[in-house]
Structure 1
Amino acid sequence: MIKCIAIDMDGTLLTSSHQITKENEQAIKKAQQMGVEVVIATGRSYQEARYVLDVNQIECPVIGVNGAEVRSAEGVVVAASPLAKEKAKEAAVRLLENNVYFEVYTNKGTYTSDGEKGVSVLVDIFMSANPEADVEEVIKVARERLTKGFVNIIDHYDTLFNDDQYHIYKLLAFSHHIDHLAAAKASLEHVEELAVSSSGHENLEITNEKAQKGIALEAFASSKGISLTETMAIGDNYNDLSMFKRVGRSVAMGNADDIIKAQCDFVTLTNEESGVGKAILEALNTAEARY
């Protein structure tokens, strides 16, 4: 019987317009009513994750920043695995050497040293994948990350790296130049204590090697007295693999790459078709059928 469900956000729980469908919301709340522990496992910061969850009044713990931080349903930090400052600095240098834009996720929020660059890179990435989209609307959405305070502008990242009050959770790198990303990834893979993953073809996520969704989920489930064999994980990308390899029931989204699908027990519908809701209800129905 499934007692814990971990759900990725972007490309999984959320549609391309960053919304949670009513079907997904209802399935999550049904699982919770049945006593199942539901936890969000995302690369997003807690603030960005909570903003979307609040719209649908979904209350649950959040494994954020790829596992670098875990918060209770009340928003209290219960675990964290930050990067060592020297490792964060080294990763930053290697990204800059390869002309790759990046943002820094910390315990005090997410930061960029170039807001306009961040907007333009995200717009370029989205428009290349969705050429039919309204560019003005895409620019508006990209800029909202700044105007809504999800990303803060700072003069220089050294402020974060040299001040003990900031704990570095993740460096999130973006580029529509795939060769630049590939070169940066190859360079970073030689740095000890780093985990390098991605939530899309146009990004890299650099964290402490212990800050992975699967590791955080294993600790979370254990703290609730739940075994991983009783846990289900739903996701769509490479930063979800560490969960898939550990849980008793792994579910890939219909929009996931074939490589991801091949490593999962089940494949559900796409994120536009409420695939999360379908996967949850199937798991719940299977459990009900046993009794």
Structure 2
Amino acid sequence: MKLIAIDMDGTLVNNNTTINEENVEAIKKAQKAGIHVVVATGRSFEEAVNPIEEAGLNLPIIAINGAQFRNKEGEIKNSITLSKETYYKVDELLNHYSMYYELYTNKGTYSNDLEMAIDIIVDIIKSANPEVTDSHAHKLADYRVKNGRIHYVEDYHDIVKDPEVEIYKLLSFSRNEKNRTDAMNDFLTFNDLAVSRSAEANLEITHRDAQKGIAVKNYADQLGIPMKEVMAIGDNYNDVSMFELAGISVAMGNAEEDIKRLCSFTTKTNDESGVAHAIHTFMRKIEVSK
């Protein structure tokens, strides 16, 4: 185990969306032992970096499901964008299925309906942490909107028409299961799209090369580390591309059963510092094998 890739929501962060001290200590122990650690998240860099820095960690970040890679200094080293031609087709389909979406760009994250912006993050929080109360999930989601991490815009096309804007991801949301399924089936006909989900009622739409697994492999290649020596830890379907490529795949205790069946090991829940438990478990195995 020479590289550990860790998801954030439902994995590295707890039910209060902060990082448990046990996880912090385990990551630092791994780093001290010469093991590289990278965060791989569906969040934008701006939303991901705060809890990481507040925990006293300094980590490279694969953001927006692999659409962007930033080094420890926060510098963009790679980005993978959707063409604007593809964006307009996706926009048309989402509108056809009456699906709300947020627009992730190099200029920030945008919403044309802030009430729906709160609903989408509540869905992510509740999917990752089913025991969290609705009121607490809404409090956390409300903070996300009010702290400026998401910007209101009346018409997304006003943003997209700017020639300097790069499109990274569309995070769509609908509680209508048929609409989500039909939209997913339509998106699967696009040759240049990857579609996954990080919660019950959303779809995450990126370029086909903007996937966590591809980004983790690219980083491992840069470090000269074979994927059989990579551990991936996550809890949801946007982590599957990591699980499929990593030599050690770890599902969180709070993950769905389908995710657990895909993985070689299941750790404790995110609120029980499951990341730390996984790191300690496999570091002990390394020590024993020596």
TM-score range, shorter chain: over 0.9
Q: 2:197: which partner in 1?
A: 198
1:204-251 C-alpha deviation (Å, 9 max, x unpaired): 000000000000110011111111111110011111111111111111
Q: Give TM-score, length-normalised by structure 1.
A: 0.93
Which residue in 2 is equivalent to 1:68? Answer: 67
Counterparts of 2:286 and 2:117 in 1: how far apart (Å)? 45
2:233 matches 1:245: no
Q: Residues 123 and 201 of structure 2 are in contact (CA less than 8 Å); yes or no, is this contact kept in structure 1? A: no
Alignment partner, residue 133 of structure 1: 133
Check whether the contact 1:3–1:36 (CA below 8 A) recurs between aligned residues.
yes
**Would the aligned equivalents of 1:121 and 1:176 in 2 still touch at CA under 8 Å?**
no
Match runs of 1:50-69 below 5 Å: 50-69=49-68
Gaps of 5+ in 1: none
TM-score by length of 2: 0.94
Question: What is the correspondence of 1:49-198 to structure 2 with a 5 Å cutoff?
Answer: 49-120=48-119, 122-123=121-122, 133=133, 135=135, 137-198=136-197
- Give 2:219's aligned residue: 220
- Superposition deviation, residue 269 in structure 1: 1.0
Deviation of 1:195 after TM superposition, in Å, equals 0.5
Cα RMSD between the aligned structures? 1.9
Using the TM superposition, give the Cα deviation of residue 117 of structure 1 relative to its aligned residue in structure 2, in angstroms.
Answer: 2.9
Matched with 2:232 is: 233
Q: Give distance in 1, aligned partners of 2:131 and 2:30.
A: 38
Match of 2:14 in 1: 15
Q: What is the rounded CA distance, in whole Å, between the counterparts of 1:120 and 1:35 in structure 2?
A: 41
- 8 A contact 1:125–1:175 mirrored in 2: no
User: What SS does the corresponding residue of 1:195 show, helix, strand or coil?
Assistant: strand
Aligned ranges 1:278-289 → 2 under 5 Å: 278-289=277-288
Taking the aligned partners of 1:247 and 1:126, their CA distance within structure 2 comes to 26
Following superposition, which runs of at least 4 residues in structure 1 exceed 3 angstroms of deviation? 120-132, 137-140
SS at match of 1:187: helix
Task: Verify the 8 A CA contact 1:11 1:236 in the aligned structure 2.
Answer: yes
Q: How far is the alpha carbon of 1:132 from its aligned partner?
A: 7.9
DSSP-derived class of the 1:245 partner? helix
Deviation at 1:256, TM superposition (A): 1.2
TM-aligned CA distance change 1:41 to 1:166, over 3 Å: same
Q: What is the rounded CA distance, in whole Å, between the counterparts of 2:231 and 2:133 in structure 1?
A: 34
> Following the alignment from structure 1 to structure 2, what is the Cα–Cα distance between the partners of residues 173 and 52?
24
The number of residue pairs the alignment matches comes to 289
Check conservation: 1:84, 1:168, Cα contact below 8 A.
Answer: yes
CA positional deviation for 1:175: 2.2
Identity fraction in percent: 43
Shift of 1:32: 0.8
CA deviation map 1:99-133 (0-9, x unaligned):
11110111121111222332245557867996982
Displacement, 1:92? 1.4
Instruction: Name the structure 2 match of 1:263.
Output: 262
**Change beyond 3 A, Cα 1:190–1:269:** same
Letter in 2 for 1:31: A
Change in Cα spacing, 1:171 to 1:265, as seen in structure 2 (3 Å) is same
Q: 3-state SS of the aligned residue for 2:262? A: coil
CA distance in 1, matches of 2:226, 2:132: 45
- Segments of structure 2 that go 5 or more residues without pairing to the other structure are none
CA deviation map 1:261-282 (0-9, x unaligned): 1111111111121111000111
